[in-house]
Structure 1
């Protein structure tokens, strides 16, 4: 099982299907949901019937796939999560050696470097696996916060495209970096 050592300010735990309350808590802020669905808070039914079943499909503790809970060590406060799963997981041709990263953080943590610190810690832990060739991330063009994190991680812009997902299609920028 993959573990991620604490970083300077944060601790990490792979979330489970019992963490629905934390998903719900995070998704109640319209600003957090702006680039997910236009700013609509998730209902508890959304969490139970969509978010958790989706997580169940790619959750793999041995490989480190799933949502890594990010907790501020000093206050023991839940800040958000970092996603890890094979790119295009929900398509007919998942890229098993190219891990997609994503993040969702509470507004109270924005602008403090927590997402960059957390994503870097996740990447560092996952680099130990020999079967990973790349890390990637996608974001809408206007999501400057996420794009800044991608760049801080060392990812480079590759292309723009329409991302197809069971949850809907949206125009995104695709960033990528090698795993080594």
Structure 2
């Protein structure tokens, strides 16, 4: 799958060669606050945990994986968008419902880049025939919830989620584009 550039952003699939990029984003305690309480990720965690997890759900033909987001005006890699089946690391993954997630460098917050990137990736997947999308966040992560709402997602429910990396309460927002003529 290829994702066309948006107005301000370009997209590339993340691979093992992007370990340093992934690590660099996770070195800001504010970026990590809602993921693990603000703990910076180590290089060993990126190569030993995060990259193998990306490999586990990546399917380039379907658009599944992590997409590096580059701001075209500066050529800076500013964040990433995750695409994988909802609940992938549980006993009940939902291959017909794709989870969108994002992580961006703090200095880019408040400029609409996460929304623009997530919308662009979602629209590319919709063009391939995907109609159901979800996103999750901790209930107090108002910035991520705002992105979900800007994408047109609606609150669905809360879950107690647990896998090898995260344990906690999450809000789930959904969007079914099969009911929308245009967006």
Per-residue deviation at 1:133? Answer: 3.6
Out of 145-154 and 8-17, give the one that drifted further: 8-17
Deviations 1:56-87 (A, max 9, x none): 10111100001111100011001010000000
Q: In angstroms, what is the RMSD of aligned CA positions?
A: 0.9
Q: State how 1:1-150 maps to structure 2 within 5 Å.
A: 2-130=1-129, 132-150=130-148
Native 8 Å contact 2:85 2:94 kept in 1: yes
Native 8 Å contact 2:35 2:166 kept in 1: no
Deviations 1:115-153 (A, max 9, x none): 0000000000000223x3410000011100000000000
Alignment length (residue pairs):
178
Structure 2 runs not aligned, ≥5 long? 179-183
Give the distance between the partners of 2:131 and 2:94, measured in 1 at CA. Answer: 10
Runs of 4+ in 1 over 6 A off after TM superposition: none
The correspondence for 2:149, drawn from 144, 148, 151, is 151
Q: Secondary structure at the residue paired with 1:174?
A: strand
Q: Secondary structure at the residue paired with 1:99?
A: strand
Which structure has greater helix proportion? 2
Give the distance between the partners of 2:55 and 2:159, measured in 1 at CA. Answer: 27
Give the distance between the partners of 2:5 and 2:52, measured in 1 at CA. Answer: 28
Per-residue deviation at 1:93? Answer: 1.5
